[in-house]
Amino acid sequence: MSLYRLLEEQRSRLTTLIQLLEHEQEQLLDGTIDGARLEKIAQDKFRLLLSLEETEGNRARVQRKLGYSDDASGARQAAEEAGCLKQWQATLDMAADTARLNERNGRLIGLRMTHNQQMLNYIHRIAEKSVYAPDGRTTTGQRRLNTSA
Q: What is the pLDDT of residues 10-57, one digit of tens each?
A: 999 999 999 999 999 999 998 788 889 999 999 999 999 999 999 999
Question: How far apart are alpha carbons 27 and 23 in whole angstroms?
Answer: 6
Q: Looking at the domain assignment, is residue 136 inside a domain?
A: no
Q: Looking at the domain assignment, is residue 15 inside a domain?
A: yes
Q: How many domains does the chain have?
A: 1
Q: Looking at the domain assignment, is residue 146 inside a domain?
A: no
pTM: 0.76
Domain containing residue 72: CATH number: 1.20.58.300
Q: Looking at the domain assignment, is residue 145 inside a domain?
A: no
Give every CB contact of residue 122 below 8 A, 6+ residues apart in sequence.
none
Identify the residue with better confidence: 128 or 140: 128
Identify the residue with better confidence: 115 or 141: 115
Judge whether residue 145 has pLDDT over 50.
no
For the chain, first and last CA: distance in Å? 96
* Domain encompassing residue 57: 3-128
Q: Looking at the domain assignment, is residue 144 inside a domain?
A: no
In this predicted model, what pLDDT tens digit does every residue of 115-129 receive, in sequence order?
A: 889 988 888 888 777
Judge whether residue 113 has pLDDT over 70.
yes
Cα-atom radius of gyration of the chain, to the nearest Å? 28
Q: Looking at the domain assignment, is residue 139 inside a domain?
A: no
Kindly report the number of other CB atoms within 10 A of residue 74's CB atom: 16
Q: Looking at the domain assignment, is residue 50 inside a domain?
A: yes
Torsions phi, psi for 132 (to 5 deg): -115, 140
